[in-house]
Amino acid sequence: MSGMIKSLTNVDGLEGKYDNISLDESVDAYIVNCQATKTVDFNDPVEEGLYISFVGKNNAHSPDYPDYPAEYFAYHCLVSLIPVAESHNQIMLSKNGKMQSIRIHFPLQHALTKNLIPSHKNSPFIEFDLYESGWQMPLTGELLKVAISIWESQYQGTPRRLWMQGKIRELLALMLVHETPNSLVEQACERVAQKPHINWTIPMLTKELATNECYLKQAFRQKFNMGVSSWIQSYRIELAKEKLIYQDQTITKIALDLGYQSSSYFAKVFKQQTGLSPKSYRKDVIKN
């Protein structure tokens, strides 16, 4: 059993599910979907190796890394290369806080380790400096759907283990084929996806991509039959839908996180796009 799951199962004040799934003799996946009934802290030791983590709802944070709050990791796919084992890594989870994660560990010498490190030019991952080597990208689309199905699985016993083995391999396959976009439009969309909270304008995007406004506008019209600003608005609303369904954040926080200056303006735009207010959308989807 992994150190993390062993620590979690020994902590009073946590409720949820924990799975340790072996993919082969040396590769294990650790699946956590829990909530704290009181503020808790636990140790999260890691062995050396390559770690691929898919994080969903997340209120857990490490006081050893104050520059990386809990929301930094929520709904992200993270790849970390740990050259030396870390026996102590304190994690804190506040009362009612939730933690959803799928962590897959590959030994450094494993045949797949080199292939899974997102260092090639077409990788959608961007570097971050939390560990010796690390990369991250937003957890969205098919990756998010598969991850959520794992956290919400109700299978038990042998069927659960076999089903999860298949789903975890599906996550890895999707991650490997998820490449950095090549066309101008795809590059622009990826910039927005990486930083949806920025109030992107056409001049900002053209400068970022070293192109001109006319060419960018034309490319978006040809690809989506809509303008750049309209696409950005639609994309933000799609992200808002995911957050309203899968996250417990307030509507105001979701609005601010997506770059809207106020919750009232966000609600106006959301209703124009969907026909429902954010509150009604969340209520209707969860009810159904």
Which pLDDT belongs to residue 28?
A: 94
Q: What is the mean pLDDT of residues 74-83?
A: 88
Rounded (5°) CA angle 87-92-94: 165
Whole-angstrom CA distances from 120 to 114, 116, 123, 126 are 11, 10, 6, 11
**CATH fold of 3-177, please?**
Jelly Rolls (2.60.120)
Residue 131, pLDDT above cutoff 80: no
List pLDDT tens digits, range 152-208: 888 999 999 999 999 999 999 998 887 666 688 888 887 888 778 888 899 999 988
113 alpha-carbon distance from chain centroid: 21
Rounded (5°) CA angle 87-88-92: 145
Which pLDDT belongs to residue 194?
A: 74
| Segments of the chain assigned to CATH 1.10.10.60 | 184-287
The conformational region for residue 75 under phi > 0 = left, psi -120 to 50 = alpha, else beta, is left
> In what side-by-side order are the strands of the sheet with 90-93?
40-43, 90-93, 60-61
List pLDDT tens digits, range 26-75: 999 999 999 999 999 888 888 899 999 999 888 898 888 887 888 778 88
| Segments of the chain assigned to CATH 2.60.120 | 3-177
Residue 86, pLDDT above cutoff 80: yes
List pLDDT tens digits, range 205-237: 998 888 889 989 999 999 888 999 999 999 899
Mean pLDDT of the chain: 86
Whole-angstrom distance, CA of residue 133 vs CA of residue 22: 25
pTM equals 0.69
The model's confidence at residue 124, banded by pLDDT at 50, 70 and 90, is: confident
Which pLDDT belongs to residue 79?
A: 92
6 vs 218, residue with greater confidence: 218
Whole-angstrom distance, CA of residue 183 vs CA of residue 83: 36
Q: Return the exposure string of 223-252: e unless at least 16 CB atoms fall within 10 Å of the residue's CB, then b.
A: eeeeebeebbeebbbebbbbbbebbebebe
Residue 89, pLDDT above cutoff 60: yes
SS3 content of the chain, % helix, strand, coil (to 5): 45, 20, 35
Whole-angstrom distance, CA of residue 254 vs CA of residue 262: 10
Which pLDDT belongs to residue 101?
A: 95
The yes or no reply on domain 184-287 and CATH 2.60.40.10 is no
Q: Are 28 and 105 in contact (CB under 8 A)?
A: yes
Whole-angstrom distance, CA of residue 104 vs CA of residue 30: 6
CB atoms within 10 A of CB 217: 15
CB atoms within 10 A of CB 33: 20
Q: What is the 3-state secondary structure (H, E, C) of 123-137?
A: CCCEECCCCCEEEEE
Which pLDDT belongs to residue 100?
A: 92
Cβ-based neighbours of 40, under 8 Å, separated by 6 or more: 11, 12, 13, 14, 92, 93
Question: How large a percentage of the chain has pLDDT more than 90?
Answer: 37
Which pLDDT belongs to residue 118?
A: 81
